[in-house]
Amino acid sequence: MKKLPLATLLVTLLTLPNIANAFRCENGPHVSKGDTKTEVRLACGGPMSSSYEGVIKIRGKLVYL
């Protein structure tokens, strides 16, 4: 078995946190933490299902359940 060059190992280890903060949609594009709902829907499409339970007010803002 060949030894990996040290530089290759370092690059791999440094990119692992970036991979952990993103996932790939079925269509192929990456979606990362911090992306807006619109960005996710454009990349992955809408949800397969959703439910609506109601609305409550928390600290003066409406929160949809």
Give pLDDT, residue 33: 82
pLDDT in tens, the chain (65 residues): 566 677 776 666 666 555 555 677 776 677 888 888 888 888 888 888 877 788 899 998 888 87
Give residue 4's pLDDT. 62
Q: State the pLDDT at residue 18.
A: 53
Is residue 8 helix, strand or coil?
A: helix
Are the CB atoms for 31 and 39 separated by under 8 Å? yes
Type and span of the H or E element at 11:
helix 6-20
DSSP sequence for 17-57: HHHHTEEE-TTS-EEETT--HHHHHHHH-S-S------EEE
* Residue 42: per-residue pLDDT: 85
